[in-house]
Amino acid sequence: MKKTFALILCILVIGWSVARAAVTPVEPVQREYIIVTGGVSLMEWEKYKGPEAHDHWWANFVRASRIRIEQLRDQYGPDAKITWLVYKTGYVRREVQEKQNLLAFIQSVAHKFNVKLVYFEKGYEVIDYLNYGRMRNEVKVAGFEYFGHSNKACFLFDYSNEVDSASKVWLHETELTKINSGIFTRDAFAKSWGCHTGESMNQKWAAATGIRMWGAVGRTMYLMEDLPMLSTANGRWVR
């Protein structure tokens, strides 16, 4: 009799647990939108390059990032998780030429749009943030966009900022395999607004992450009041 009662009780407990699991709502996965902003060139070198000079305006990439952040905030609302990764050293160096506190301006943009501002110094820190910046089993990356110098194989975070016409801090396409699988939402949007990314790096990104990235074939031009546009004849966006 005792064994029968115990068996019945066990069945009832299991049934209650299954029923409770069936009606308990699953917490939806949270979404994060990440903007990465590279550093600008130093005018001590660029001013001699005539029409080929880069970054006459220090806020080339910051302004474009701000425009995109505002769009994301308008689209996804005041509570959306938006994170802004900025290559700090590039703006610290440029501050000397500009004779103004550029970091204070960057921080004011982050404050205005209620975004999480994260400064980085090395290329691998971008991957570290993607992988570990939040609990990725709870918060997935739903958007990744890059504003800065690039070539077909690299994000060039400090192009012409420490070394004239070269870069010492980058994220190379061969490093993309270090991004953990499963950190992106299935519908994640990725785009590089830099030059030439659509010629190789976007393919390596897709192979490494499973998420296709838009990139430019040819060069892009940064504008004051709009997002970057293609500036090469017959240039196009591909993914």
Q: Where are the domains of the chain?
A: 29-238
Cα–Cα distance for residue pair 239/237, rounded to 1 Å = 7
Per-residue pLDDT of 95-127, as tens digits, reads 999 999 999 999 999 999 999 999 999 999 999
Residue type, 210: G
55: left (phi over 0), alpha (psi -120 to 50) or beta: left
Per-residue pLDDT of 33-52, as tens digits, reads 999 999 999 988 887 787 77
In the prediction, which pLDDT does 218 show? 97
Measured in Å, how far apart are the chain's first and last C-alpha atoms? 69
Mean pLDDT, each 10-residue run in order, the chain (239 residues):
48 46 59 98 85 89 98 98 98 96 98 98 98 97 98 97 94 98 96 98 97 98 95 96
pTM of the complete model: 0.88
- Per DSSP, the residues of 71-138 read HHHHHH-TT-EEEEEEEHHHHHHHHHHHTS-HHHHHHHHHHHTT-EEEEESSTHHHHHHHHHSS-TTT
